[in-house]
Structure 1
Amino acid sequence: MYSSLLLHGKKCIELHKSSTFRVISVKLLQKEYPFRNPFSSSASTLQSDSVLNLLTSYGFTSTQISKIITTYPRLLTLDAKTTLLPKLQSLQSRGASTSELTEIISKVPKILSKRGTKSTGLYFDFIKDIIHNDGKSSHSSTTTGKQGNKMRNVSVLRDMGVPQRFLFTLLVSESQPVCGKEKFEMSVKKVVEMGFDPATSKFVQALHVFYEMSERTIEEKVNVYNKLGFRVEEVWEMFNKWPYYLKFSERKITQTFETLKRCGLGDEEVVAVMKKRPECMRASEEKIRSCVETFLGLGFSGEEFVSMVKCFPTCVGLSAENVRRKVEFLVGEMKWELKDVVGIPPVLGYSLEKRMVPRCGVVRALVEKGVMSGRGGGGYGGIPPMSSVLACSDKVFLNRFVMKHGRLVPELMAIFDGDKEKGSQGRTAIKNVKGLCVSVS
């Protein structure tokens, strides 16, 4: 079976001070455990500090520790002395160098939560082989039992072309989608037959769905969508876009459908929205209601909200603060109108800090220097339409608003890069951009 499957399928935050680690740790753990504050006592604080100190003593860099606690916040709740230290000591005693230890644990910190030093060592060695030996692990063939089976299954996926980052996630997944033999083989066969590319995250998502759900359960979910107005082929088209949507309960599916209807969408419009972006199923009823209240509170009409949802369905999952900050910037500071946002609602999905502010900073600088005075008719002092500033690639934006302005290019590039210094750094940026830019009519 394995050979037949093979034929089918050929944050990082830079931290500098321990106090910064503590702030990040608190935020991550509060997100992980929203119903309790893991730092409510001095004992909890000491425990997290002990974990951070232990990792530092074993040679982990600030960047690596940041990656570890961002990827697996629960590590900070483990006991440094009785749980983590023995495992690190055991790995070193087995011959792991500092560089190997820090590299592998930074990639897959969850192996430190495995029960016992022996289990941790087996996972460590297997991951090491995947990283350094092109996935050809001797451990997958010699290890027996449940762990050996998981490693052999992961090796199959590796040979099919599933990237390392997905393999590691599958290996330590709580849902165990790479356990067993027949069930795993059948699940992979279904995913391959549906045409999912092993190099994409959708392949792994589909594997989770088929492994965790019986054929009967999947059929029941398809029938739920069918009763709501979706054709069977449309249900599977949605599955190809975002496999996880099939995992929601009947209650959640129906609730989301009815909530969107109460927002002003008709039955066919809700079907169209879900078909376009099935990810909007993730939004809770409370979040959708909050979203409606936020848009109405900012001055949008009910009809305009419906129009935006139809064009950009995932806007129902945006936080109130996210929407408010972006609209206040676009309308309040840049002086564009609400109707401009209604016209291209995907702008609400753009990053305020990485896209809106740098680009708008460039065009405002041009206006203030009189270069664009009286042009356009969009927003702030003659700034051009929102679509020409925000709804284009960086390459098009730079050609349109930066590279054609000669002596101003260094200053404009410094603004675009978020760099206040307009000297050599701006000129360096120009060299990097000139190779990419071509004239835009």
Structure 2
Amino acid sequence: MLRLRRSVLAKLLSSPSVSPLHRLVSTTVSAPAVSPDPSSFVVEEYLVSTCGLTRRQTVKASPRISHLKSPANPDAVLAFLAGLGFSGADIAAVVARDPQFLCASVERTLSPVVAGLAGLGLSPSEITRLVSLAPDKFRRRSMVSKLQYYLPLFGSYENLFGALRHGSGLLTSDLERVVKPNVTFLRELGLAHCVIAKLCITFPWLLSFSSERVQAVMVCAQGLGVPRQSRMFRYAVHAVAFVGEQNVAAKLDYLKKTFGWSDSEVGVAVSKFPLLLTRSHHMLQSRSEFLISEVGFEPSYIAHRPIIVCFSLEGRLRPRYYVLKFLKENGLLKADPSYYLSFMVNETAFSKRYICPHKEAAPYLAEDYATACKGEVPARFIFA
């Protein structure tokens, strides 16, 4: 069987239709097991015994390739993947994600695509990453022309792969009717090339959604008062897309009501931290009650420091507040503490400043703080 597997792989890789890249990468890779008897071919068993899928994966995958009556094409595809350097686990992941990959023609589709990608400068490892990211798109010969357009736009394959991790729809979107008009619109907004690339790495739908939707989201994001060239603009775009541009006004009204903000104050808060719009009503209400009613912050003070609204109430804000209040009640602080600064610093800095210096005077403080971070209130943190 091992001799058979190697002969199948060798035959595939020596075919004129396969690029030199395949032969170069694959000479030391063993192909997956090849089904010996076509007449006994059963899709479900092939997926398990040859492709390495679990029974649960097989139940989901088998209906999509139930028309297969022979292992000939799947065997060729598996040998092709092995030739690219895929391990058995890698191959199982590709087949589980896209069972129809087994139906692709090595000669007419997969090999020409690999040859085209190699011609664009992709290394063998980059090609295998691309197969793993978008196996269903890889079996389309149009992928090569799509990548030829996207590379200058994103600046590097690493950036392009980042965008594909967020959504592989880029590889099926119509370049002329959808993608290029969206790019033109983004440029007409005055966005620099690097800003467009960064936006589209995180939000590739900016290129693949309809022009009308993209324009509506971008116009609404601009209306939040975030400069287009700033790092925060991408968060404004995300917030609008998450909430829905038609719901932004209602969310702004809720923020005003919950925190007692004026129109100008809510504008300041959202422009400084647009992700406020993505937080649930319950979360915003609980932060308002804590920061205003317990800590004593003024609404305008919070509006200019909106990031604290998004910190964990039980895991960060409340435990740190308890620690500072305990230190203050027991006369262990020389001056009134800055609750805001204590909320902002990282865990190491907080412990170094407020817990470690008081090990002798308050030996249980670290333990009580850890307990509070778990959502419990130690007796020493209950104040009259």
Which of the five TM-score ranges fits, normalised by the shorter chain?
0.5 to 0.7
Q: Is the 8 A contact 2:355 2:365 kept in 1?
A: yes
Q: Which of 55, 60, 63 is the equivalent residue of 1:115?
A: 63
Rounded Cα–Cα distance in structure 1 between residues aligned with 2:183 and 2:47: 51
Shift of residue 167, structure 1, vs aligned partner: 6.7
Q: Which of 49, 53, 57 is the equivalent residue of 1:94?
A: 49
Rounded Cα–Cα distance in structure 1 between residues aligned with 2:326 and 2:371: 9
Partner of 2:37: none
1:36-66 CA deviation, whole Å, 9 max, x = no partner?
Answer: xxxxxxxxxxxxxxxxxxxxxxxxxxxxxxx
Q: 1:411 to 1:306 in 2, by over 3 A?
A: same
Pairing of 1:27-426 with structure 2 (within 5 A)? 90=45, 94=49, 101=54, 112=60, 115-116=63-64, 133=88, 135=90, 145-146=103-104, 159-160=125-126, 170-171=134-135, 176-181=136-141, 183-191=142-150, 193=152, 194-197=155-158, 201-205=162-166, 208-230=169-191, 234-240=195-201, 242-259=203-220, 265=225, 269=227, 274=233, 277-282=236-241, 283-298=243-258, 299-372=260-333, 375-376=336-337, 384-386=338-340, 388-406=341-359, 407-415=363-371, 417-418=373-374
Q: 1:235 to 1:306 in 2, by over 3 A?
A: same
Shift of residue 293, structure 1, vs aligned partner: 0.9
1:212-269 CA deviation, whole Å, 9 max, x = no partner?
Answer: 2414522211232344454566434533454333333332233334545666x4xx84
Q: 1:257 to 1:201 in 2, by over 3 A?
A: closer
Q: 1:345 to 1:207 in 2, by over 3 A?
A: same
Pairing of 1:13-32 with structure 2 (within 5 A)? none
Rounded Cα–Cα distance in structure 2 between residues aligned with 1:337 and 1:290: 23
Question: Percent identity between the aligned chains?
Answer: 13
Rounded Cα–Cα distance in structure 2 between residues aligned with 1:158 and 1:335: 59
Q: 1:418 to 1:184 in 2, by over 3 A?
A: same
| AA in 2 matched with 1:394 | E
Partner of 1:81: none
Q: 1:395 to 1:114 in 2, by over 3 A?
A: farther
Q: Is the 8 A contact 2:159 2:201 kept in 1?
A: no
Q: 1:269 to 1:111 in 2, by over 3 A?
A: farther
Q: 1:223 to 1:329 in 2, by over 3 A?
A: same
Cα RMSD (Å) of the superposition?
Answer: 4.9
TM-score norm. by structure 1 comes to: 0.54
Q: Is the 8 A contact 1:245 1:281 kept in 2?
A: no
TM-score norm. by structure 2 comes to: 0.61
Q: Is the 8 A contact 2:221 2:237 kept in 1?
A: no
Shift of residue 392, structure 1, vs aligned partner: 2.4
| AA in 1 matched with 2:345 | C
Q: Is the 8 A contact 2:315 2:375 kept in 1?
A: no
Shift of residue 284, structure 1, vs aligned partner: 0.7
Please, which runs of 5 or more residues in structure 1 have no aligned partner?
Answer: 8-85, 377-383, 423-441
Partner of 1:66: none
Shift of residue 361, structure 1, vs aligned partner: 4.1
